[in-house]
Structure 1
């Protein structure tokens, strides 16, 4: 839903290293596009991680997932990409000055948020939406602490497949990779998946 000026009531923002994108990323983006009037995603560099592919390649992989979903309110926007969440929120606020910004994170990141750069400012600028991930149970104490610091934390009732990019990097498994990514993965021989070509799932 949008207001009379054409601004969406809310914008869901989901950044990820997408190294590589998994069926979990695909499921999450599909769920967000059904809950929010506008969804934007991007590939990002995590300064605390080493990555298996350059940022431009990971952005192209994530865009392929977005295009495969075909949701009109979902788009990749690399201009929002930054290692700092505050930078992303400032850029998003310039694009949608009247919209509520919903910053989406997995439950695995919940313990880190209070240590993020300018955490209080981040919590002031957005609603924080937490997506449960298997193996990373929600900690109600951490949520309470964020709310006491001025946050607005909500837990999204989404069921995400138990897939992780790190697991694919360690043990390449075609069954965990969205089918629309195969052409790029094979052409560029990324993540060791070329050796698994015979067992890749069929395109749908």
Structure 2
């Protein structure tokens, strides 16, 4: 899969906290897309452990660590609703074509998004396969039924989820560049688990 020249991958994440899985995904996206934009956001279906500001700081550390010219954090795209993010993205890059990047664990949610049909008319869904989260033809048909297009990304994301880290904080689940900040601010109880 090779993206067109004006194609932008949009990846919003709770980043609660960013894990090795986030790092792998962002790095892989830079090999496919000419531009990769990420941001930390509040997911209306999740309870976040840290405030958005702290999660944004953690994501900034990760983006700086990856340090790729195609990757940037554009926090102003952050919104709990994909349609609002897409509206902002269209204002910033009116000539671009967009791929919303989601993990296979979120495919089921796409048809339930606010204004899903409108989103799917303006952006492709790029699906990163996560270990332990297979997707069914039925789920993909639901996206197609709404007029959506999707691409299965040609890589797998390693099994390391933010929720696993929150349940049992372990330094080995997050990029090591995040550890000093996590310890200094005593986030997620990582300092206590040492």
Q: Same fold (TM over 0.5)?
A: yes
1:128 aligns with 2:125: yes
Unpaired stretches in structure 1, ≥5 consecutive residues: 198-204
Give the number of aligned pairs: 192
- Moved beyond 4 Å, runs of 4+: none
Structure 1 CA distance, aligned partners of 2:114 and 2:148?
A: 15
- Give secondary structure in 2 for the equivalent of 1:162: coil
Aligned partner of 2:9 among 9, 12, 16: 12
Name 1:26's counterpart in structure 2.
Answer: 23
Instruction: Spell out the pairing of 1:12-161 with structure 2 (5 A cutoff).
Output: 12-161=9-158
1:12-66 CA-partner distances (Å, limit 9, x unpaired): 0000100000000000000011110000000001122221111000001001000
Name 1:200's counterpart in structure 2.
Answer: none
1:65-117 CA-partner distances (Å, limit 9, x unpaired): 00000101101111000000000111001111111111001111101111111
Structure 2 CA distance, aligned partners of 1:117 and 1:126?
A: 14
Structure 2 CA distance, aligned partners of 1:47 and 1:89?
A: 16
Structure 1 CA distance, aligned partners of 2:65 and 2:27?
A: 10
Unpaired stretches in structure 2, ≥5 consecutive residues: none
Task: Using the TM superposition, give the Cα deviation of residue 168 of structure 1 relative to its aligned residue in structure 2, in angstroms.
Answer: 0.6
Structure 1 CA distance, aligned partners of 2:184 and 2:29?
A: 30
Out of 131-140 and 55-64, give the one that drifted further.
Answer: 131-140
Structure 2 CA distance, aligned partners of 1:113 and 1:17?
A: 16
Report the aligned-residue RMSD: 1.4
The structure with the greater share of residues assigned to strand is: 2
**TM-score, length basis structure 1:** 0.91
Q: Is the 8 A contact 1:21 1:177 kept in 2?
A: yes
Task: Using the TM superposition, give the Cα deviation of residue 149 of structure 1 relative to its aligned residue in structure 2, in angstroms.
Answer: 1.7
Structure 2 CA distance, aligned partners of 1:58 and 1:167?
A: 16
- Give secondary structure in 1 for the equivalent of 2:91: helix
- Give secondary structure in 2 for the equivalent of 1:159: strand
Name 1:184's counterpart in structure 2.
Answer: 181
